[in-house]
Structure 1
Amino acid sequence: MFKFLLVAALVPAMALAAVDFTSCGAGIPVPDTLTVNDCSGSVCTLTAGEPVTAVASGIVSPVGSATAEAYIIVRVGGLDVGFELPEELKDACVTGIEGGCPVVAGTPFTYTLDDDSLDVPARGTTVEIEVGLTGDGDAALGCVRFDAIIN
């Protein structure tokens, strides 16, 4: 009985933790779920200078890759604001992909972006954040886009 109550209590909390996201383009893999800090719904509120943890679970790449490079693009009104992912977070094989590389075609994996201090120049307005992974030969391994307000 206790196990059932625990599961029943956790299921709504897990559902609320998901962030709405879209694909970055036709054929580019997306995760089954995306969580960003304690956000839920269509617009995530983030605080500049504070840590951001985004977890994309269940990404299934159609291609294998020995390498994986992470990138992030922040857009306001469709225009790139020039945000750069810190150098130490770019090698997703070292920091990000659970279990490291290689990425095996058809095998689900989890990617975590863990940035100690969010510093985006566009504050107080809704931005589109694109986070993606590219592999050998610039193959698209996975990508998501979601909306956020950075205070």
Structure 2
Amino acid sequence: MFKIYFLLALVPTMVLSDVSFTACPNGAPTPTILKVNDCMADECNLVAGEHISAYASGIYSPTDSATATAHISVFLGGLDLGFELPPHLEDACSVGIEGGCPLIADEAFSYLLSSDSLDVPARGVAVEIEVGLTGDGGVELVCLRFNAVVN
């Protein structure tokens, strides 16, 4: 009986687990926490054509910014596969940043990238997905990379 309660107590913790990520080579700030769909591993399994939700919190902008433009890149063995973010998701101030813009330097904010359909040019192989936000004057506000397999 105790084992059942113990397992039930762990389920919410497992569901809310963070995704492992690394900083981008450009040296941009990273969030404190990243959650991608229901992924609880070092490599997320995503399904092409299905919904993707990536939530990053604890982001501290290095500068004030009235704008924030989202970008995503998908890499296979270091080669950029040319993934293009749908245009309606590019303006992160209106779609994604909780509370919108402007962003204030050194104040925490959160960002939610939510798309009804994920479609990347590589299927069934391990890729590295980079998600970032660029602010006024090209300043990198946040950037991270995580591993995934898209089936």
Q: TM-score, normalised by structure 2?
A: 0.90
The residue type equivalent to 2:121 in the other structure is P
Moved over 2 A (4+): 8-14
SS in 1 for 2:49: coil
Paired residues for 1:2-151 under 5 Å: 12-13=13-14, 17-25=17-25, 27-151=27-151
Whole-Å separation in 1 of the counterparts to 2:107 and 2:58: 9
Q: Which moved more, 1:31-40 or 1:18-27?
A: 18-27
1:110 partner SS: strand
The alignment yields a C-alpha RMSD, in angstroms, of 1.7
User: Percent of pairs identical after alignment?
Assistant: 58
Bigger mean CA deviation after superposition, 29-38 or 16-25: 16-25
User: Distance in 1 between the 2:101 and 2:32 partners?
Assistant: 20
Give 1:40 deviation, angstroms: 1.4
Instruction: Write the distance in 1 (CA, Å) between the matches of 2:103 and 2:11.
Output: 30
Amino acid at match of 1:32: T
In structure 2, give the amino acid aligned to 1:12.
Answer: T
2:101 aligned counterpart, secondary structure: coil
Closer/same/farther in 2, CA of residues 58 and 87 from structure 1, 3 Å limit: same
- Aligned counterparts of 2:59 and 2:72: Cα–Cα separation in 1: 17
State the 1:26 CA deviation.
6.0
Deviation at 1:12, TM superposition (A): 2.3
CA contact (8 A) 2:14 2:40 kept: no
The 3-state SS of whatever aligns with 1:120 is: coil
User: What's the CA shift string for 1:27-58, capped at 9, x where partnerless?
Assistant: 41101100000001210000000000000001
Letter in 2 for 1:108: A
